[in-house]
Amino acid sequence: MRNNQKSTLTHPTTHFTRVQSFIVFLSLLSHRYQLTAFQISSSVQFISPSPIMTYSSDLPKDGSHNHPGRSTALASAPSPHDHALRDGSHNHPPSNTMEIIHSRLSSLNLTLPPPGTPKANYQLIHRDGDMLYLSGHLPMKADGSLITGCCAPSSALDSNEGTGDPTHQLLTTQQGYEAARHCALNLLSTLQSYLSTHVTKSNPSTGHREPADLSSVVKIVKLFGIVRSHPEFTEQHLVVNGASDLLGEVLGKEVGGCHARSAIGTNTLPLGICVEVELIAKICDL
């Protein structure tokens, strides 16, 4: 005689549906008896030994698997060194003071020029939180004159003789390097002017607010340099080194010299200049 007794095996889908119903039931209890999310989670894990709700013991122990759900390992708390590597700020207040910065400028026989003005319809600087975005700055000397021309390889410099228009003169890599240093000096001038007129910081000695300055810069995040180039010129990166080097010399290697950077060449630049540099800087929490 056929055994009409129903099988005791339960389809996994049925078991999963029951678990879902139980979770809904626990949610209702949480409103009634103020159960915490941890208590609910613990209850579900206790009554649900089904393979559908568990993970294989063969999974990696570092939590690196791509399976959704709970990780097999707890993430360790990040160290201050980890934060320093991620955002470049090294998680400490800037060590610069304006006295140190002025001393460095003096040792380089440099002074900050007067801040420039926009040459078109844009702002020289824009602030977004603790980030400052500076527009492209020109290689302007202290007397207001611009360094113009086109950077060229040594093989092309012979044709430079007799050129009457200074905007078409050919420049060496070293001359371009010096022009990029002027760009950086003008960027620092704009930073100092903006910080002293638009930003305040707390004086720990007096507790009063006072105008900020270049010592409030904790990181030069990125430079972008554009070099007016002869078709055969390929040393744009060496020209933009002028800006990178000056920022490191004035602000210190940690603050000014460890930045991301791009350097590209172009056949022309505004006003016949030979190089233009823009900058992104991070200031401390003021």
Quote the pLDDT of residue 119: 86
In this predicted structure, the answer to whether residue 29 has a pLDDT above a threshold of 70 is no
Q: Which of 4-13, 89-98, 142-151 has the highest mean pLDDT?
A: 142-151
In the structure encoding, which two tokens stand for residue 43, read together? 């209850």
Q: What is the mean pLDDT of the chain?
A: 80
Which residue blocks in the chain are alpha helix, DSSP H? Answer: 12-33, 37-47, 80-87, 98-107, 173-198, 236-251
In this predicted structure, the answer to whether residue 72 has a pLDDT above a threshold of 70 is no
Three-class secondary structure of residue 74 per DSSP: coil
Quote the pLDDT of residue 12: 53
Sequence-ordered list of residues with C-beta below 8 angstroms from that of 73, at least 6 positions apart, any chain: 61, 62, 63
Sequence-ordered list of residues with C-beta below 8 angstroms from that of 279, at least 6 positions apart, any chain: 134, 137, 187, 220, 222, 223, 224
In this predicted structure, the answer to whether residue 73 has a pLDDT above a threshold of 50 is no
Residue 285: band (very low, low, confident or very high) from pLDDT cuts 50, 70, 90 = confident
Domains of the chain, with CATH numbers?
Answer: 15-51 (no CATH), 98-157+165-283 (3.30.1330.40)
Cα gap 99→82, rounded to integer Å: 31
Of the listed ranges 78-82, 229-233, 273-277, the least confidently predicted one is: 78-82
